Structure 1
Amino acid sequence: MTTANRAEVCVVACAEAWRGDGEILASPIGVVPLIAARLARATFEPELLLSDGEAMLAQGTWAIGAPPPVIEGWIPFRAVFDLIYGGRRHVMMGPSQIDRYGNTNISAIGDFARPTRQLLGVRGAPGNTVNHPTSYWVPRHGRRSFVAAVDIVCGVGYDRAAALPEAGRFHEVRRVVSNLGVFDFATADHSMRLVSVHPGVTVAEVLDATDFELVVPAEVPETREPTEDELTLIREVIDPNDVRAREVAG
């Protein structure tokens, strides 16, 4: 079997976040999530809806940077909200900071009144996280990204959703994938749990790069590697120019 590199392992780990979703809108943000969503639809999750990045729904599997081969539908901006508010979307976003309960920050670093770094702004993170499943992709796992407390809450985590249950009936932080491993919140208090480490990564490395206490099972498996068919799709069909390698650290 051909050996997969770290970026390709991360692609498959992100793709697995959409497993079992069926006919919903997958909204990947970032190169690795974009490859992953197309890979998931091309293999184990054929009912996923994928857009061209704007207002069209597309059929088939196509390369990063290329137009989709077939347009199958139109999804104007107003229609996106119907999907969002009904829980019929699963977005994968890239947080600048994430804490142990899945609260995320994409707005600014530092004090809210006088931040030291301006980022994207809150944007759609609050609505996404309380209305439909949300997953996260973090290409550089470190103590500045996996933090004890986010500077500004943009995406809503489990502790804050619990305080207003009527506002979060569709709240679900499904999966977090970093360049070191895979994480979820399947614990009694919904604090982050280490699910798997990528090949070549140790549990100690993950703990050292995380600024809060992770839940670590007694046995932590390795993240699965791509199959030969998945590698062919990644390397020859979806990302033949290896754009993925520029997004993944380590």
Structure 2
Amino acid sequence: MTTTVSAATRAEYCVIACADAWRDNGEVLASPMGMIPSIGARLAKRTFSPDLLLTDGEAMIVGLDGEPEGWLPYRRHLAMVTGGRRHVMMGASQIDRFGNQNISCIGDWQQPARQLLGVRGAPVNTLNNPVSYWVPKHSTRVFVEKVDMISGVGYDSAAAAGPSATRYHRIPRVVSNLGVFDFATPDRAMRLASVHPGATVDQVQEATGFALARPDDVPGTREPTPEELRLIREVIDPKGLRDREVPS
């Protein structure tokens, strides 16, 4: 009997795009922040990146079923952070063309119009290990020409700070509900790498507050395999929480 797999939803394409951020990473600590990045990290570990380490967000290494498999003391965690052995996927209230990220405030930081999370660990994360970003609602309010305050360090800011800032600094990708972005350009400006099915290049550009670099022919985000869809739907997220973050 042949089982028919229904077409992937927008949320599932986002999961796939997030999972691919950890492809070929080897034995590194995956630190996803958000529902879809978390599903993506678990999918990556179950398929093409089996050496990934996942944690409970506190002090334990967890397995595929979420059960503790080991202890990760804080000192060891920091050693992985400062040695480039962790790959974080963070959120962004603002992100600009060179990958500077803001989660601190909107407006002048001396008298902001809106107070957000604060800088938190963003500077340490971005300077000491690879950091990707997840944006569930792509808009010109998030993708801005210049962030109001730098929390996570972008390519231009790292270069200006010198070699000590660029040793481990890397932004592999940005994933939004419209497409996938990277910085594979000569000046490290953000590039549109792929668009999700149902979105267009013009739609992505219109929702972005700066001119995106892009190839002449922008590809679509890769299709999930039937096995990946089965894992997402039946094993990792059977309750469909992904669709709450990115509705179909």
Which category of TM-score, normalised to the shorter sequence, fits these structures? over 0.9
Q: Is the 8 A contact 1:24 1:47 kept in 2?
A: yes
Instruction: Decide whether the 8 Å contact of 1:14 with 1:177 is kept in 2.
Output: yes
Which residue is 2:209 aligned to? 211
Query: 2:158: which partner in 1?
Result: 161
- In 1, the alpha carbon distance for the partners of 2:218 and 2:138 equals 18
Cα distance in 1, alignment partners of residues 235 and 184 from structure 2: 34
The alignment status of 1:231 with 2:229, answered yes or no, reads yes
2:113 alignment partner, SS class: strand
2:159/2:165 contact within 8 Å kept: no
1:17 has 2:32 as partner: no
Residue 110 of structure 2 corresponds to which residue in structure 1? 113
1:108-187 matches, cutoff 5 A: 108-164=105-161, 165-187=163-185
CA 1:143–1:151 in 2, change beyond 3 Å: closer, same or farther? same
Asked if structure 2 preserves the Cα contact closer than 8 Å seen for 1:198 and 1:222, the reply is yes
Sort the Cα spacing of 1:160 and 1:138 in 2 relative to 1 into closer, same or farther, 3 A. Answer: same
- Are residue 190 (structure 1) and residue 194 (structure 2) matched? no
- 1:16-63 C-alpha deviation (Å, 9 max, x unpaired): 000010000000000000000000000000000001222110122x3x
Three-state SS of the structure 1 residue aligned to 2:75 is helix
Equivalents in 1 of 2:247, 2:105: separation in Å? Answer: 22
RMSD: 1.0
For the 8 Å contact 2:33–2:89, the answer to whether it is kept is yes
Q: Which 5+ residue runs of structure 2 have no aligned equivalent?
A: none
Give the SS at the match of 2:184: coil
1:179–1:249: 8 Å Cα contact kept in structure 2? no
Query: Within 2, Cα distance between the matches of 1:231 and 1:202?
Result: 23
Distance, in Å, in 2 between the alignment partners of 1:189 and 1:39 is 32
Asked if structure 2 preserves the Cα contact closer than 8 Å seen for 1:2 and 1:228, the reply is: no
Aligned to 2:245: 247
2:50 matches 1:46: yes
Residue 65 of structure 1: aligned partner? none
After superposition, the Cα gap between the structure-2 partners of 1:176 and 1:108, relative to the gap in structure 1 and judged at 3 Å, is same
Three-state SS of the structure 2 residue aligned to 1:26 is strand
Secondary structure of the corresponding residue to residue 132 of structure 2? strand
Distance 1:114 1:154 in 2: 17
The amino acid that maps onto 1:113 is: Q
SS of alignment partner, residue 7 of structure 1: helix
List structure 1 segments (4+ residues) > 2 angstroms apart after TM superposition. none
Distance in 1 separating the partners of 2:140 and 2:200: 16
Aligned residue in 2 for 1:101: 98
Q: CA deviation at 1:219?
A: 0.7
Query: Normalized against structure 2, the TM-score is what?
Result: 0.96
Which amino acid counterpart does residue 37 of structure 1 have in structure 2? A
Q: Counterparts of 1:131 and 1:30 in 2: how far apart (Å)?
A: 21
**What letter is aligned with 2:45?**
R
Deviation string, structure 1 residues 183-212 (Cα, Å, up to 9, x no partner): 000000000000000001110000000000
Deviation at residue 225 of structure 1 after TM alignment:
2.0
For residues 166 and 140 of structure 1, the distance between their equivalents in structure 2, rounded to whole angstroms, comes to 34
- Bigger drift between 81-90 and 223-232 goes to 223-232
